[in-house]
Amino acid sequence: MKHCINCCIHLLPNDLHRQCFRCRGPSHSNQKCPLCKGENKVSSYPDSKQMKLLAVLEVRTDHSESWNGLFCLKKGKLCSLIFGLIIMTLVMASYVLTGAKHGLLLIPSPFHYGAFTSNPSLMDNESLSDMKDHYQPSKINVSYLKDYPSIKLIIDTITSKIEFITRQRPDLEELRKQEPHMFSVIPNKFLSNSKNPCWYEEYRGNTTTDPYTTNSYALYSKRFRTIFDYLRKVFWNHLYHYKDKHYRLRCLPHFYIIGQPKCGTTDLYDRLRLHPDVRFSAIKEPHWWTRKRFGIIRLRDGFHDRYPVEDYLDLFDLAAHQIQGVLQSDAAKENSKRNSIIIGEASASTMWDNNAWIFFYDNSTNGEPPFLIQDFIHAFQPNAKLIIMLRDPVERLYSDYLYFASANKSAEDFHEKVAESLQLFENCMLDYSLRACVYNNTLNNAMPVRLQVGLYVVYLLDWLTVFDKDQILVLRLEDHASNVKYTMHMVFQFLDLGPLSEKQEALITKSPASNTRRPEDRSLGPMLPTTKAILRDFYRPFNTKLAQVLSDDAFLWKRT
């Protein structure tokens, strides 16, 4: 777009200003210019085909020709700027007034969901924390959401979309194709003289070989190196020698404490490990089924090398050594005594965390994961026993927030994070199924608080598609806190553990509670009453379904 800055403003892109003497050279004067002759100002005019201006600008000439062009240019731009600001101000004022009247100040969908796809380049080049930033919704002012009726509309939309649809269980051959190495390591039959699932595996290393040199748990965590230093020292003493070959006893857990976080799983773990017939993995929460086998160490660090199943089995070597001692004892050999020691594993993510599936498994249907953790556990251990500890999901969420939030914790901040998370969850439910949203890695990373962890019945129903109901024991933290002895007896009976002496029982049931709320978090006080009412409404349909599945109205949490 060319124009003469001294005489006139033409906005025609192909105009060469042939009538302007100044454009042809320095000899231009107002007296000779046919467009300027006899005038000290020239008005620009709009071309109907090329211009969409809202007004006609006036550019005055100056008596000094040397500064005339520059002065007119500055003045023209200034007028344009002022005029544009006025128009923009009027438009914004109209938007604000109209939006305030109709409640439209907040864009209804700040978080847009695309297709559920697996992107290998994203997995290699972008950490999970980066992905969270990539999909993070724009910062919004949620102060207006503090009004209970406003958020109730969001909850009503979510409730109207809830459908509990039974998932289709994958075939065993499909599972083998996904994890061929795992199926090559774990046998389909275990020792008949052991209550715990164990088997002998040939060890091909020599006396100078470190059996744990490549174990990822030992490599990536300094906390576990002491444990593996001890295992190295005693490893050769526990090998079984037969026909010039060395064999090591390998074991999987007999039972799993699978969830949920901030529901008392640590306290249950600490009490159970005091039982003389119970052993646990060397690490309380290996998170192997949900994270480590996919290469996730810490979410903020992204993906690393995947932990092979051998690394997971190494965590049970201490317990395997004790089981082997029982199996090889003289009494066991003479009387065909069966080993009664059982091993447990207590990763509280096992029940709910399937976030990594989208990066490794294809053939997703409508955004739902084709394979879940329980599919693989059941494939290897169809007789495994599962323990679930739950609590009022409203209180669980607040406890979860206090434990994991790093700074600026307050009841008000929690309220805003709840409001934002509910809106994100609603946006997902408008386009996808309940299961797709619950297992949606993008959504789960974007929500400021983990609303989805409290949707207990969604996870439980999926576990019940592969395990029988009598293989799952569901407890309430509220019952455990009020009567530890009763709940521990339920656990002992469920695991078919032997009787205890009064001293042993007292040690287990009277020890102080573990992993209670920190003093600095207690000083923050309870959540706001409005927040509690909001969360009660959100979790109510899920609690109702849970109580129906378990035939126990205590899981409605009406009195808590």
Give tens-digit pLDDT for 243-255.
889 999 999 999 9
Task: Tell me if 271 sits within 8 A of 488, measured CB to CB.
Answer: yes
pLDDT at 18: 43
**pLDDT-derived band of residue 69, with 50, 70 and 90 as boundaries?**
very low
Q: Is 109 exposed, middle or buried (0-12, 13-18, 19+ CB in 10 A)?
A: middle
Task: Tell me if 498 sits within 8 A of 340, measured CB to CB.
Answer: yes
pLDDT at 537: 97
How far apart CA 114 and CA 430 sit, in angstroms, is 13
Structure tokens at 204: 């091909």
CB within 8 A of 449, min separation 6: which ones? Answer: 397, 400, 401, 414, 417, 418, 421
Q: List the chain domain ranges.
A: 172-399+457-512
Name the more confident of 86 and 314. 314
How far is residue 201 CA from its own chain's centroid?
Answer: 36
How far apart CA 368 and CA 435 sit, in angstroms, is 6
pLDDT at 9: 38
* Buried/exposed code over 176-195 (b: 16+ C-beta within 10 A; e: otherwise): eebbeebbeebeeebbeebb
Task: Tell me if 198 sits within 8 A of 322, measured CB to CB.
Answer: no
Question: pTM for this structure?
Answer: 0.74
317-to-72, 236, 250, 284 alpha-carbon distances in Å: 86, 12, 7, 14
How far apart CA 101 and CA 96 sit, in angstroms, is 8
- For 172-399+457-512, CATH gives 3.40.50
Task: Tell me if 530 sits within 8 A of 146, measured CB to CB.
Answer: yes
426-to-57, 134, 433, 531, 552 alpha-carbon distances in Å: 50, 20, 11, 17, 29
Percent of the chain with pLDDT over 90: 56
**pLDDT-derived band of residue 56, with 50, 70 and 90 as boundaries?**
very low
156-to-192, 206, 540 alpha-carbon distances in Å: 54, 65, 11
